[in-house]
Amino acid sequence: MAKRGRPKQIKKVVFSPKQQEAYNYLIDNKTTEVYFGGSAYSAKSWLGCTWILINCVNLNGVRYAIGRKDAKRAKETTLKTFFKAARFYGLYDYFKYNDQKGLITFKGTDSEVVVLELTGAFVDELAEVDMKAYQVLSTRIGRQNNEEYGILGKIFSTSNPTKKWVYKHFYKANKEGKLKPSQKVV
């Protein structure tokens, strides 16, 4: 297959009002943590995958992570959503996937989806992840060409309703007006 550059035209991205609200936080210059909660089938994972696709197609040399509690589950669920979104937007031919390394490399921009120094991250089903792991991940973002593009390192997290640590860290803090200015809940 011949190497392709950036796509000339992709399918128009259309979000629901809640998805648009979350996406606006993902592209602003203030927010570093976006928590998007809701029931199953509310397109939370789709939004995270779309955010990463848009950035990896449009920016050179950025790195994002897609993760869940374990790699096997991420490959069985979230990665399938990523590939489905890529097909929907007409972007499936613009990257290559190395299953052994768990690495997606975008043709034309050399952007990647990995777990290393990161531009940003998408954590699907955050309630399944240990709080300490989330805290460590938050120290790894904002290191890969963020300054060059003037974008903040961001973590986009999704979850179904829960009473685990995520409830206190995001939902309850939001209800009590105690979120940091850099945190948003949708």
**pLDDT for res 114:** 79
Of the given ranges (3-12, 21-30, 49-58), which has the lowest mean pLDDT?
Answer: 3-12
C-alpha distances in Å from residue 81, one per residue of 19, 86, 92: 16, 8, 12
Q: Tell me if 133 sits within 8 A of 164, measured CB to CB.
A: no
Residue 145 has pLDDT above 50, yes or no: yes
- DSSP, collapsed to helix, strand or coil, labels residue 69 as coil
186: CB partners within 8 A, 6+ apart: 18, 21, 22, 25, 34, 35, 36, 37
**pLDDT for res 1:** 35
Task: Write down how long the chain is.
Answer: 186
Residue with tokens 């040399």: 61
Share of the chain above pLDDT 70, in %: 94
Residue 110 has pLDDT above 60, yes or no: yes
Residue 92 has pLDDT above 70, yes or no: yes
Share of the chain above pLDDT 90, in %: 75
C-alpha distances in Å from residue 163, one per residue of 38, 123, 171, 176, 186: 13, 18, 9, 16, 17
pLDDT band at 8 (very low <50, low <70, confident <90, very high): low
pTM of the complete model: 0.86
